[in-house]
Structure 1
Amino acid sequence: MDHKTVDERDTEWETATPRLRAFFWTKGRTHLDCEEISGATISEASSWARGEAARRGAALDLAILSTDKAGAPGLIWLTDEGGADA
């Protein structure tokens, strides 16, 4: 892990309610269901997703859905609990 002091004014935009994706891994991490979450804070989305994972008996990974400079969709992983690396 690396870290450095930065100028907090170096960003051009922000949002309190990003689009997120919850990945639910079941059956020994061989089956994946994915839900897109919008209109919620990360805390609200995480709380819902953790409850949903428990209800499903699933492992969970949570990511922010974003785009790169070319507009291609991509994920920014917030958790590493379920199966994204499995």
Structure 2
Amino acid sequence: MDERDSAWERSDPRFRVFVFEGPGNATTVVDIVDATIEDALESARALSKADELLWSLALVDDDSRGSRGLVWLSGMDYNDRPVTASE
């Protein structure tokens, strides 16, 4: 692998934590900025009441058109029906 194959880098990640509660899938969503991945994971665990509730973690980014999107780091949007084995 050539470590120089990337065209850009960022040092200001925005993480998004989703916490799913109850049978109606009420969802709490929190953005975490100016934080490390360790901070984001700690926030996910705290918001989910020490993993009592189902949670997901995503990296938020904007594409070249300015459209906001998510890169799932852990889990997925559990309101969506899984379509792959990994989901």
TM-score tier by shorter-chain length is: 0.7 to 0.9
Indicate how the Cα distance of structure 1 residues 33 and 24 shifts in structure 2: closer, same or farther if over 3 A, else same: same
Partner of 1:70: 65
Higher mean C-alpha displacement, 39-48 vs 73-82: 73-82
How far did residue 56 of structure 1 move? Answer: 8.4
Q: TM-score, normalised by structure 1?
A: 0.77
Contact 2:15 2:31 in 1 (8 A): yes
Q: Alignment RMSD, CA only?
A: 2.3
1:27 to 22, 26, 30: 22
SS of residue in 1 equivalent to 2:41? helix
**Whose strand proportion is higher, 1 or 2?**
2
Alignment partner of 1:15 is 2:20: no
- By percentage of residues, which structure has more helix? 1
Summarize the Cα distance change of 1:69–1:82 in structure 2 as closer, same or farther, 3 Å threshold. closer
Describe the superposition over 1:35-59 as per-residue Cα deviations: whole angstroms up to 9, x where unpaired.
Answer: 0000101121111211221258421
For structure 2, list consecutive stretches of 5 or more residues without a partner in the other structure.
82-87
Q: Structure 1 residue runs of 4+, over 3 Å off? A: none
State the percentage of identical aligned residues.
Answer: 32
Amino acid at match of 1:36: D
TM-score, normalising length: structure 2: 0.76
Match of 1:60 in 2: 55
The Cα of 1:85 is off from its aligned counterpart by 4.0
Opposite residue 54 of structure 1, the aligned amino acid is: K
Gaps of 5+ in 1: 1-5
